């Protein structure tokens, strides 16, 4: 049986990196749902490959705000051709390259901000050479105070797979219109084996996008290359 790991920035690290940054084009607005009554923006996924420069309505994505459901759908469908096929595009999904300032030191795999996972270019190339699949890194527009700093790429990590219902609380079914389905992350996550992808070694979960998941291939490559700084916790499958 394949193994899957929850990837996190370790609680103790010698790295001091910090970001004051956002994505260039903003992102999808939040949504006000007329059916369930929720106002929410739950995405933790960014699409740094998205280029809205030729979209006349690009200013509509600049400021975060809630919109009525029909307007949210209209804005979501305008950008769908600009993101990878199968992108989940939840309310709040961010678009474009990362822009801002970076201070401190950054590990080769910098997963401190799950919404903005970064990797040194050299680390990305080494992992790809080891046969790790599905890694897509995009240039950032980060400004550093120090002259000597690594070239940081932002990973575009798409959502695939789900938590198994046995580890999540009992709750009403998701809203059939907007999909709202709030629950807290379980202390002991279990992955739904049948939902896990077979084509990529790094992904987010569709129902908990802040959880980054790596396959055994990814984790073995990271350990073999002695890349810092990521905590790898094997998860149960069911």
> Is residue 31 situated within a structural domain?
yes
The single residue listed with the structure tokens 């600049």 is 62
Range of the domain at 64: 21-95
pLDDT at 140: 97
> Is residue 36 situated within a structural domain?
yes
Cβ proximity of 183 and 168 under 8 Å = yes
Task: List strand residue ranges (DSSP E) for 86-235, in order.
Answer: 94-95, 98-103, 109-110, 118-120, 137-139, 141-144, 152-155, 190-191, 202-205, 208-215, 231-234
> Is residue 170 situated within a structural domain?
no
> Is residue 54 situated within a structural domain?
yes
Instruction: Enter the pTM of the model.
Output: 0.95
> Is residue 70 situated within a structural domain?
yes
- Categorise residue 37: left if φ over 0, alpha if ψ from -120 to 50, beta otherwise: left
Count of domains in the chain?
1
> Is residue 10 situated within a structural domain?
no
> Is residue 77 situated within a structural domain?
yes
Rounded Cα distance between 3 and 214, Å, is 9
pLDDT in tens, 145-182: 888 889 999 999 999 999 999 999 999 999 999 999 99
pLDDT at 162: 97
> Is residue 51 situated within a structural domain?
yes
pLDDT at 45: 96
Q: Which ranges of the chain have pLDDT less than 50?
A: none
Rounded Cα distance between 3 and 107, Å, is 25
pLDDT at 215: 98
Q: What are the structure tokens assigned to 120, written together?
A: 């040194």
pLDDT in tens, 196-215: 999 999 999 999 999 999 99
Rounded Cα distance between 193 and 18, Å, is 35
pLDDT at 1: 84
């Amino acid at each position: 049986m394949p193994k899957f790991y929850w990837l996190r920035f370790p609680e103790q690290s010698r790295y001091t990196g910090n970001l004051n940054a956002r994505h260039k084009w903003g992102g999808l607005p939040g949504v006000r749902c007329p059916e369930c009554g929720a106002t929410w923006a739950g995405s933790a996924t960014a699409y740094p490959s998205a280029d809205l420069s030729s979209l006349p309505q690009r200013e509509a994505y600049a400021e975060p705000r809630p919109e009525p459901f029909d307007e949210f759908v209209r804005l979501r469908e305008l950008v769908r051709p600009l993101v990878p096929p199968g992108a989940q595009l939840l309310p709040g999904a961010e678009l474009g390259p990362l822009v801002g300032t970076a201070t401190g030191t950054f590990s080769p795999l910098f997963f401190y901000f799950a919404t903005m996972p970064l990797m040194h270019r050299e680390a990305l190339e080494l992992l790809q050479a080891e046969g790790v699949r599905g890694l897509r890194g995009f240039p950032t527009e980060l400004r550093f105070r120090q002259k000597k700093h690594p070239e940081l790429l932002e990973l575009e990590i798409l959502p695939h797979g789900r938590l198994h219902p046995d580890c999540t609380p009992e709750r009403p079914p998701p809203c059939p219109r907007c999909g709202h389905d709030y629950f807290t992350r379980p202390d002991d996550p279990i992955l739904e084996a049948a939902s896990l992808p077979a084509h990529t070694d790094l992904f987010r979960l569709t129902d908990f996008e802040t959880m980054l998941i790596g396959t055994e291939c990814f984790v073995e490559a990271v350990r073999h290359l002695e890349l810092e700084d990521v905590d790898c916790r094997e998860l149960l499958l069911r």
